[in-house]
Amino acid sequence: MAAQEAVPLMRGSDHEEAQAHTMEPKKIDGDETAMHETMETPGVHNSGAVWQTRETYCEPGFKGIFASYYVALCAVFAALGGLLFGYDQGVVSVILTEEQFLTRFTRIDEGSGNAGFWKGLLTAMIELGALLGALNQGWIADKYSRKYSIVIAVVVFTIGSALQTGAVDYAMLTVARFIGGLGIGMLSMVAPLYISEISPPEIRGTLLVLEEFSIVTGIVIAFWITYGTRYMASEWAWRLPFLLQIFPGLGLGVGIVFLPFSPRWLASKGRDQEALHNLAKLRQLPTTDRRVQLELFDIRAEVALHREINAERHPKLQDGSASSRFLLEIQGWFDCFRRGCWRRTHVGIGIMFFQQFIG
């Protein structure tokens, strides 16, 4: 017998909202029953909560991975984006010291003037590209779906990697690093987003660890590959490591097409029937399973609340145009610093900053 836990679905007034949110069966495809809420749009100014008892899918933590093996496999595959990030970081740290590389790019040789500046600029270009890529990936993921935005990121990353492999001067290599950084930043944002939205609540945190694990794994792989290629006499000592990172990227871009869409993204587009089937597939349960039905209801309620909050805060950006979606994305970043959200933003930024700061 599965364990029971109480999960809040949305905010509402103590009594009136509880009466306004009811659930009734609704036929889908003629023979499947989906839980459908007959509700008004949830109020965002009211206090209180509507609670719904939900059965758990599996045990939390590492044990739950084996019970949700399909989701775990999808998460492992999506986490290849982190491996690409780590690999690129590891590759450049070794290549910058190789004689074959310095012979081609004399500007960063220690014997030339301002070598430290040019070396630092080359290294930092991927981080700058990653920053811009991550900041812009939100509206792309909302428009084209999580998994197709991964494909877009892989295309950008592949272009950058190919240009790095064929670079003939410092300027070309610097631009190539920036383009590759755009793809890496996009992947570093959307891959964890996809993993979090397909994962059961019990193991969501466990599966998100795969992203950081993949980054470290990529660094280790890059160190060993460059250790082997540095003894090659030709320029392939540094070109080959740049070339090899294309292949896991292509594998990710092609393979992600065959994985399920995020149920939350489908629900946000009003594709509730597809959301139900994808959620059932991810949970390896029939669409009539009560746990699947309630999770879908939870997702739809959260989507409705998010839509209402956006409509209230940004009423002039609701026409659905590309410019409005972009401006909504910008406003979303500013919303992180609003009163009531600042503490969570501070904690999130602080953790990531000091994690990088200590090396």
What residues does each domain of the chain span? 4-59+289-357, 65-258
Q: Quick one: average pLDDT of 261-286?
A: 95
Least confident of 65-69, 166-170, 178-182, 272-276: 65-69
Mean pLDDT, residues 195-223: 93
pLDDT band at 331 (very low <50, low <70, confident <90, very high): confident
293 falls in which pLDDT band (50, 70, 90)?
very high
Which pLDDT belongs to residue 46?
Answer: 38
Higher local confidence (pLDDT), 272 or 326: 272
d(CA 240, CA 246): 10
Name the packing angle between helices 246-255 and 69-78 (round to 10°).
140
Fold that domain 65-258 belongs to in CATH: Growth Hormone; Chain: A; (1.20.1250)
Residue range 122-141: average pLDDT?
92
- Better-scored residue on pLDDT, 331 or 145: 145
Residue 310 has pLDDT above 60, yes or no: yes
Q: Which of 87-91, 111-115, 119-123, 209-213 has the lowest mean pLDDT?
A: 111-115
Q: Which tens digit of pLDDT belongs to each residue from 52-109? A: 566 788 778 788 888 888 999 999 999 999 999 999 989 998 999 899 999 999 888 8
Task: Return the minimum-mean-pLDDT range out of 39-53, 148-162, 243-257.
Answer: 39-53
Q: Is the pLDDT of residue 9 over 60?
A: no
- How far is the C-alpha of 120 from the C-alpha of 181, rounded, in Å? 15
